Chain A
Amino acid sequence: MHHRSAGLIRRLGGAEIAAVVIFIVVFAIPLSTKSVLVYSVLNQVLVGVVAAFSVWIMLRMNLLSFATPAFMAIGGYTVAIAGRYDITNAFLLTAGAFVLPALVAVPLGALVLRLRGTYFVLVTFVLSQIMQLLLFETPDLTGGSNGIAGVPPGTLLGTELASNQQVLLFACGLALLATLITALVTRYFRQHFAAIEENEILAESLGLVVWRYKALGFVVSAGVAGLAGYSLVNMLLTAHPSSFDSITAVDFIAYTIVGGRASILGPIVGSTLLVYATNLFGTHGQYAQGLYGVLILVVILAARGGIVGTVGTLLRRRA
């Protein structure tokens, strides 16, 4: 009996179910405390996790993307610009924050997905640089180097999301949505992504239309990044180029690699730990990047599976 239920969980994806449960349970935190510190850290974690999911989806196919900040910018600025026109419906904004980056990802993907390995990394890095420059060069639309301040609070089913608690609850909602999307896509196409990750040529010879799945991954990854951008703007009530600096891609990549690239729980664990660690540095928050560097070294050299992978291996050895 135990055997059968274990098999069922494996088919539905134990890790995916756990991830969704985590982001349902997380709603309890803003409802049970008012601590400013907890609010701040949790909100940062929620943004980080969604951005890390964006990186993780592409990493399922062994493609390391530096483009997450660029797509986050599209999502975030869409919300901020919509706010200027008094569009504050949270459902609409959420849809826009997902769909617009996804649409942009279609032609971009057609261009850049021909490349593999380090070439793909370079191209996505250049994309992020271009987005940064575009933000500065279009002051009428994006506010240029000043960004867009005073983004109005969203409205959900008639209620204005103005209080800190409401803002955080909404961030929980965005994170849950991102988790559902990520879990569903990566679970349903698990075999396809895994085949591409391990041996693209073999997969294609067996009939897999590889470019289609790369494109799918890229588009979903962009949409999820857009949600992260919305979450960031939602937290800061400002859309500013410095929030979407191409160098922030390094943070999200660190969360994913250190947390563990083989499981959906990896980005969750990685973001939580690393964002928390950054906050421990207090005013010396920039030192955290050095810690990220050391952790990445450790993972790459000694513990490829990251935290989740290593824990998983230890548990299996004991079983």
Chain B
Amino acid sequence: MAGQVELRVEGLARHFGGLRVFADVSFNLGPGGLMGVIGPNGAGKTTLINVISGRLPPSEGQVLLDGRDVTGQPAHALSRLGVARTFQQTNIFRSVSVRENISRSVRFGRRGVQPGLDRLLGEFGLAERLDEQSDKLPYGLQKMLGLLMAFATGPRMLLLDEPAAGLERAERHRVDAFVQHAREVGGCSVLIVEHDMDLIRRLCPRVLVLNAGAVLADGAPAEVLARPDVITAYLGGAEDEAA
């Protein structure tokens, strides 16, 4: 079982020229923890993941992993340290087979084949389609493949960017199964950015609300989602819950 890791984000901010994407974001995600990040479109959620995972450097603030400052390190370094992320658009290598996608993930992650990977492949219906070209798969399976690829690198922390987006209602429980497996078997802490409120309520003991680049609320879903300012932020941003 992989060692557990603690993520601490302090005063994180990111600007693009004159545009402030988010500022003054701070939170802790303890070992084996699970938290959701929600907010209307444009609130800066994906950029937050980009910054934590090393794809973008922050304009201000720090990212600490197990107390160690990893601010501004590139994505491959963060991956080495056990931070894996998924992408909003399906992010798989479209021109090659499922098998090749997994093979690359394992090879680039350099931590060997993770326990339970085969089981997950079977559970999500990918085991019998290993030699199919991945962009011929139905969209839902492509997304699951993306999740499995991140897991295959052997991470200790998963940053999932809208894992349920585009999935049919019936398929969404697979995300639950994936998160459960990652935590129980892989020992991962998980941060989920999502619009599907049902999923957030089901899975996350804690949720952070981002609105217009600032943290609006941080707490248990039951209370946070009942707060009037959170509701206004969503209604104002015309955000509809997962259909």
Contacts and interface: CB of A to CB of B under 8 A. Distances in A.
A207 B110 contact: yes
Contacts of A201: 55, 75, 91
B40 interface: no
**Chain A interface size range:** 10 to 19
A206 B80 contact: no
Contact of A208 (B76, B91, B95): B76
B97 interface: no
A164 interface: no
A199 B149 CA distance: 14
A207 B80 contact: yes
A5 interface: no
B108 A203 contact: yes
B136 interface: no
A201 B96 CA distance: 16
B107 A191 contact: yes
Interface in A193-240: 194-195, 198-199, 201-210
A207 B95 contact: no
Contacts of B142: none
Interface of B: 53, 55, 74-76, 79-80, 84-85, 87, 91-96, 100, 103-105, 107-110, 149-150, 153
B70 to A, nearest CB: 14
Contacts of A198: 93-96
14 contacts: A194-B96, A195-B108, A198-B94, A198-B96, A199-B91, A202-B91, A204-B75, A205-B53, A205-B75, A206-B79, A206-B104, A206-B153, A207-B79, A207-B108
Interface of A is mostly: helix
A275 B96 CA distance: 34
Interface of A: 191-192, 194-195, 198-199, 201-210
Contacts of A205: 53, 55, 75-76, 79, 84-85, 87, 91, 150
Among A198, A199, A204, A205, the one with the most B-chain Cβ atoms within 10 Å of its Cβ is A205
A104 to B, nearest CB: 26
Nearest to B111: A207
Contacts, number: 60
B109 A202 contact: no
Contacts of A204: 55, 74-76, 79
A204 B104 CA distance: 11
A148 B168 CA distance: 71
Contacts of B95: 198
A103 B241 CA distance: 57
A202 B94 CA distance: 11
Nearest to A205: B75
A39 B95 CA distance: 42
A209 B100 CA distance: 19
A264 to B, nearest CB: 18
A202 B93 contact: yes
B93 A207 contact: no
A208 B94 CA distance: 18
Contact of A209 (B55, B76, B91, B103): B76
Nearest to A210: B76
Residue of B93, B108, B110, B153 ringed by the most chain A CB atoms within 10 A: B108
| In the A-B complex, the 3 residue pairs with the closest CB atoms | A207-B79, A208-B108, A206-B108
Contacts of B93: 194-195, 198-199, 202
Nearest to B83: A205
Given A194-B96, A199-B91, A206 B53 contact: no
